[in-house]
Structure 1
Amino acid sequence: MTTAHPLPEPALATGEDPREFAQVLHAMHDAAMAGQRLPARPRSVIGQSWARVADAGVDPDIGGPIDPIAAADLTERRAASGLGFLLDDLTRGLDAVLRDSPNILVVADAKGHVLWRAGTTAVRRRADGLGFVEGASWAENAVGTNAIGTALTAGQAVQVFSAEHYVRSHHAWTCTGAPIRDPRSGGMLGVVDVSGPASSIHPATIALVDSVARLAEARLQNVHRDQLDMLRSVAAPILARAGRPALAVDEFGWVAAVDRVEPRRRIVLPSDLAPSRVLVSGLGLCDVEPLPGGWLVRPADAAEREGTTVTIGDVVTVTSGDRVWTHNPSPRHRDLLTLLARNRGGLSAAELAGELFGDPARTVTVRAEMSRLRKTFGGLLATAPYRFAKEVTVSL
């Protein structure tokens, strides 16, 4: 449930003079905005951001629309963000760079809207002058290169110093942001950011902000483990009485408990999941029922697969009752399914290799491809030999 992320790169090297570096950045920014030859190259993360922002049409002299969202919408966004209970952890973790300093702490959602701010009255008033207010959008396409929007787009911690900001009115600032991901889905939850006067820049700030974001993700992961434990305790007696293979999974597909199903950490659930029969990758046709905090998933047995039709064309269609699923196979997978449809008695790996490649010795490739196919179609495909399950109707 954890993913590696790049080591954070400070905007300013240790020992480098901020004032001299700022002068270089101003010259670089002026040349870039005028379409002239640059006296130096911006850092990769900044150069890529400038290109995106220019394509988005952001004006370096004006910026973009930062009108804050309505107060009622802000309250709703805060509740939906999943970040509210992390605020105390984030504030404590960054207290060293906030206490008695001109810096402001900002937490933004996954779309770059500022949800919360913390800092002295003086620094908040200064931020107000930039429109750096609760509810405002600090996505790249709204206000140009900045640590919130750029961290969201780049998917990594970013420090933006002085004229690395695309919009000139931001050049007096330095900001450092790190994304916070949801360990359950892998998706972005938002960004924690520390911003202040350009003179307050420190190379160590980005490592600290990034570490605090990672600790927040670890907190979320621990909460998720507790939720899975709770689901496991609810599901255990249900699985014991089910009398058939079944899994208990949370809303993101993480497996809390299994009974007579090959153990796995996670399954991919359809985005529009509802109590019904669905096609689940790796399990095939399954019946799903709601549980407190998740779903009971029961692979269909042979009798329940009766009446299922697989139609092979440019797109493979699986029909069971009034439910229809489609799958867009690769050309090789389509060829394999076609061969199995024409040979309902089944084919060995060597026979499939001979038909597919003209070389019966290429069994390793065939087995690998069939393993991938069975992850999609589950019990609709059988092995030893490879074949469609006998209760499934197949048409070409």
Structure 2
Amino acid sequence: MAHPSPTVPRLAAADAARAARRLYEARAAVLSGERARVVPRPVIEESWERAIRHGIDPEHDFRTGSLSHEEVERRRGNSQLRYVLPVLREGLVSVADTAHHIMLVADGEGRALWREGSSPVLRKADEVGIEVGTDWREDVLGPNGLGTPAVLRRPVQVFAGEHLTRSLASFTCAGAPITDPRDGRLIGVVDVSGPPETMHPATLAWVASVAQLAEARLRERHRGSLDRLRSAAAPVLARLGGRAIAVDRDGWTAAITGMPYTDRVALPKSPAAGRRWLPALGVCSLEPLAGGWLIRAAVEPEPPAATRIVLDLARPHRCSLTVSGRSGSWTRELSPRHAELLYLLALRDTGRSAAGLAGEVFGDPSRTVTVRAEMSRIRRYLGAFLEHRPYRFHADAEVEVVLPDDPRALLPHSTAPAVAEGRMSVRVPYKARGAASSA
């Protein structure tokens, strides 16, 4: 019976130094286009393949394309991550100094916004340019503790020579994504890095648990803000007749009257007081409330004329949906699951059944309950633009899909069989109604 090629975890358990040497050999072979004698872990091998397709520079200078101090401060001020820094510091930095680690926190676009921890390791990071403002995207650096968790949407550890970027080969990194607990959108990644000999097998689980605590803190903060808005809106809604809803600045519902409950309303990109058309409610009037908006629905929802729907999948980690018409437009960032489902619906004008979508997403047509629940959530913000029985975009809407230049970069987080099939195509099959394909 043939024995499989040795893998990194098995070697690392036996001899960390020998594992590091084998990794350097594998890395050198891959970069030179040769076949490596040691098989890296699948998560690393796949990351290497993605990075090489993007033409990674193994000598990448971290300072290339770094953000200015002013831009870093702007991003910090706009990021939800600022609300969970105390959790991250308490859970990670308090240990990092004695453990010879540093903590890096990047936003959803892979830009490092905070860096704290062990002074000796910080000095070592300074030597190679690992600084605030640097770009940690996987397609720039290859596998790393910030960029790879952002692609895979799960915790990942990258050991020494598993990094393709040469200056990172003296670090071992463990990172975990931080998602918005309201909709699953990626808002950042937290990473602990240090010399390989200082990293423990439990480091990854430690970082992942602190990321989960940060998400729990965001959930508590969201609930508290809705409670305060609900208290302010209650007397106003009590005096109103008809359909009305109080939402926060992001459209999340605090209170509602005269209509079925919906957890979120899709607001225009830059909402302003006055009459507006909203996809799930129709023509409405928007009035400012402390911390949000009062929305009064005037008519039953119906799609306006000359509607255009753009599903933008070009940025793998920041997919969005834009609906525009004569009454204005709105844009919504999509969770990974909603991006998958809307992409699959855009491929076929005639629509898909719940069982059909379940087969294409999960490889199991029986998982219709999960699909129906997600489609119900999508219909809450797409309203009449999304029909059901079967699920499909409204026949009068012009639908366009913006795809990545490389089909293999299509929804890289997705394990859906139909999406994987699309990645293998030289040209992703798509036909837009009334518009040329952007594939």
The CA deviation at 1:98 is 1.3
Match of 1:229 in 2: 227
Partner of 1:251: 249
- The letter of the residue matching 2:263 is R
CA-CA distance at 1:245 after TM superposition: 1.3
Of the structure 1 ranges 276-285 and 41-50, higher mean CA displacement relative to structure 2 is found in 276-285
How far off its partner does 1:67 sit?
5.2
- SS of the equivalent of 1:218 reads helix
Say if 1:370 and 1:46 are closer, same or farther in 2 by CA, change over 3 A. Answer: closer
Q: Does the alignment pair 1:106 with 2:104?
A: yes
1:80: Cα distance to partner? 1.9
8 Å contact 2:244–2:295 — kept in the other structure?
Answer: yes
Deviation at 1:314, TM superposition (A): 10
* Structure 1 residue 148: Cα displacement: 1.0
Distance in 1 between residues matched to 2:39 and 2:279, nearest whole Å: 47
What is the distance in 1 between the residues matched to 2:115 and 2:162? 23
Residue in structure 1 matched with residue 265 of structure 2 by the alignment: 267
Report the CA distance shift for 1:99/1:125 in structure 2 as closer, same or farther (over 3 A): closer
With the length of structure 1 as denominator, give the TM-score of the two structures: 0.72
**2:114 counterpart (103, 107, 116):** 116
CA offsets 1:129-171 (integer angstroms, 9 cap, x no match): 1211122222223333211122222222111101110112221
Contact 2:61 2:129 in 1 (8 A): no
Which residue is equivalent to 1:23? 21
Cα separation, partners in 2 of 1:244 and 1:60, compared to 1, 3 Å? same
Q: Is 2:292 aligned against 1:288?
A: no
Between 17-26 and 213-222, the greater mean CA deviation after superposition: 17-26
Contact 2:62 2:128 (C-alpha < 8 Å) held by counterparts: no
Asked whether the 8 Å contact 1:283–1:375 carries over to 2, the reply is no
Q: What code does the residue aligned with 1:80 have?
A: N
Instruction: Verify the 8 A CA contact 1:310 1:319 in the aligned structure 2.
Output: no
C-alpha contact 2:172 2:195 (8 A) present in aligned 1:
yes
- Report how many aligned residue pairs link the two structures: 327
Moved more, 186-195 or 43-52: 43-52
The CA deviation at 1:224 is: 0.4
Equivalent in the alignment of 1:136: 134
Q: Match of 1:46?
A: 44
Mapping of residues 109-188 of structure 1, within 5 Å: 109-188=107-186
- SS of residue paired to 2:250: coil
Deviations 1:46-101 (A, max 9, x none): 22222222222222234565354322332222222222232221122125741422
Unmatched runs of 5 consecutive residues or more in structure 2:
1-7, 310-322, 331-344, 352-374, 388-439
Counterpart of 1:300 (choices 298, 301, 306) is 298
Kept in 2: contact 1:104–1:124 (CA 8 A) = yes
Q: TM-score, normalised by structure 2?
A: 0.65
Task: For 2:327, give the aligned amino acid.
Answer: R
Q: Bigger radius of gyration, 1 or 2?
A: 1
Give the Cα–Cα distance (whole angstroms) in 1 for the partners of residues 204 and 278 of structure 2.
41
Read off the aligned partner of 1:115 and give its amino acid letter.
Answer: L
- Checking the alignment, whether the CA contact within 8 Å between 2:62 and 2:129 is kept in structure 1 is no
Q: Is contact 2:149–2:176 with CA below 8 Å preserved after alignment?
A: yes
Aligned to 1:323: 327
Give the 3 Å change call, closer, same or farther, for CA 185–278 of structure 1 in structure 2.
farther
What letter matches 1:54 in structure 2? I
Q: Which amino acid aligns with 1:189?
A: I
Distance 1:119 1:283, change over 3 A: same
Q: Percent identity at matched positions?
A: 39
| 1:248 positional shift | 0.9
Unaligned runs of 5+ in 1: 1-10, 334-368, 382-396
Q: Which amino acid aligns with 1:90?
A: L
Alpha-carbon distance in 2 for matches of 1:230, 1:114 = 33
Structure 1 position 121, deviation (Å): 2.2
* 1:37 match: 35
Paired residues of 2:247 and 2:255 also in contact (CA < 8 A): yes
Q: Contact (CA 8 Å) 2:179, 2:188: kept in 1 or not? A: yes
Query: Of the two structures, which has the highest relative contact order with CA contacts closer than 8 Å and spacing of 6 or more?
Result: 1
Which range moved further: 281-290 or 369-378? Answer: 369-378
**Aligned pairs for 1:372-387 within 5 A:** 376=382
Match of 2:334 in 1: none
Structure 2 counterparts to residues 188-203 of structure 1, below 5 A: 188-203=186-201
Indicate how the Cα distance of structure 1 residues 28 and 97 shifts in structure 2: closer, same or farther if over 3 A, else same. Answer: farther
Task: Please provide the CA RMSD for this pair.
Answer: 3.5
The answer as to whether partners of 1:164 and 1:171 remain within 8 angstroms in 2 is yes
